[in-house]
């Protein structure tokens, strides 16, 4: 167990404790720059001094982002897992590999794909809206305050749906075939079999996927950073932490930029994000556990 324990202590626990300590300082991250202990000033700035409307907007975007990704990603992954679990489906191993491929492409590749997809005026989406739908002046999706955020959400779902799919497939393959045979002999239809047999048998898998999607979406910033840079109302709490620590757009709740690096303030933001993830995950786990107990 020693290698695993050392890995956890050095690369997990120690950085987390360091982040918590640095959240009470004004460290900038610039080599040689002086920094000092400032107490709760970073948290006071985040909750009190920051523009309340911008903060509500950022929290609202983060909630919408996490909720949409969790529901849509798991719903699509579950449907596809049920279909790809059918024995009569030819080439199902190929389909599984194709659906999982976005997970291993990497953030930069996925962001490039979606930028090309929504590019103006040569992207497939732009040409489809103009030539097929007949829209005279199609909007530039990724530079639109109305469409950029849904586009980033779609990219997040597309990239990580394969991971949820694999977990659902593992749960489906552990269901004994005799249970399905008994259900069909009793006259149950496909829909009844899914609701009364399949879903209760894989509910623990649904719980795992739900919690992983919630945690991943609340912490996500990579796709937002590489696709929109946090502009056009796409900045979430995760993006704010990164932009504040390393500079760039999206450092404020309103998506604005900052001058210089403020890693102490970013550490305070990350601790707020950690608390939010912890609370939401704990509540979700309680709800999912109760639903699992009721369905058993």
What is the CATH number for 224? Answer: 1.10.3720.10
Q: Which two tokens stand for residue 67?
A: 């909720």
Distance in Å from the first CA to the final CA of the chain: 35
Tell me if 44 is assigned to some domain.
Answer: no
Tell me if 37 is assigned to some domain.
Answer: no
- pTM, entire model: 0.85
Tell me if 184 is assigned to some domain.
Answer: yes
Structural domains counted in the chain: 1
Tell me if 10 is assigned to some domain.
Answer: no
DSSP 2-17: HHHHHHHIIIIIHHHH
Tell me if 2 is assigned to some domain.
Answer: no
Give pLDDT tens digits along the chain (296 positions): 999 999 999 999 999 999 999 999 998 888 888 889 999 999 999 888 877 777 888 889 999 999 999 999 999 999 999 888 887 778 878 888 888 999 888 899 999 999 999 888 888 988 888 888 888 888 888 888 888 999 999 999 999 999 999 999 999 988 888 888 888 888 888 888 888 888 888 888 999 999 999 999 988 888 999 998 888 888 898 888 888 888 765 555 555 544 458 899 999 999 999 998 899 889 988 888 888 777 66
| Host domain of residue 245 | 51-295
What is the rounded CA–CA span in Å between residue 125 and residue 106?
22
- What value, to the nearest 5°, has the Cα angle with vertex 68 and ends 252 and 290? 115
Tell me if 11 is assigned to some domain.
Answer: no
Taking Cα atoms as reference points, which of 256, 270, 253, 244 lies closest to residue 57?
Answer: 253
Tell me if 170 is assigned to some domain.
Answer: yes
Tell me if 60 is assigned to some domain.
Answer: yes
């Amino acid at each position: 167990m020693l290698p695993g324990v050392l890995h956890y202590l050095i690369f997990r626990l120690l950085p987390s404790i360091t982040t918590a300590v640095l959240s009470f300082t004004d460290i900038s991250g610039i080599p040689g720059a002086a920094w000092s202990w400032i107490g709760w000033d970073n948290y006071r700035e985040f909750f009190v001094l920051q523009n309340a409307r911008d903060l509500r907007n950022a929290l609202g975007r983060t909630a919408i982002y996490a909720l949409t990704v969790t529901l849509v990603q798991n719903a699509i992954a579950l449907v596809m897992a049920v279909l790809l679990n059918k024995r009569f489906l030819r080439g199902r191993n190929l389909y599984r590999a194709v659906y999982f491929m976005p997970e291993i492409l990497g953030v930069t590749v996925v962001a490039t794909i979606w930028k090309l997809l929504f590019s103006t005026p040569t992207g497939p989406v732009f040409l489809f809206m103009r030539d097929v739908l007949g829209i005279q002046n199609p909007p530039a999706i990724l530079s639109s305050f109305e469409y950029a955020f849904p586009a980033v959400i779609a990219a997040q779902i597309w990239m990580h749906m394969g991971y949820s799919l694999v977990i659902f497939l593992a749960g489906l393959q552990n269901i004994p075939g005799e249970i399905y045979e008994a259900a069909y002999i009793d006259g149950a239809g496909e829909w009844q079999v899914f609701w009364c047999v399949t879903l209760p048998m894989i509910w623990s898998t649904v719980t795992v996927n739900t919690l992983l999607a919630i945690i991943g979406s609340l912490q996500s910033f990579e796709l937002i950073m590489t696709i929109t840079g946090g502009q056009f109302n796409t900045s979430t709490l995760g993006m704010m932490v990164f932009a504040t620590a390393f500079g760039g757009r999206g450092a404020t709740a309103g998506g604005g930029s900052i001058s210089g690096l403020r890693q102490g303030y970013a550490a305070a933001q990350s601790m707020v994000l950690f608390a939010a993830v912890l609370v939401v995950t704990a509540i979700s786990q309680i709800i999912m556990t109760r639903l699992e107990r009721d369905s058993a």
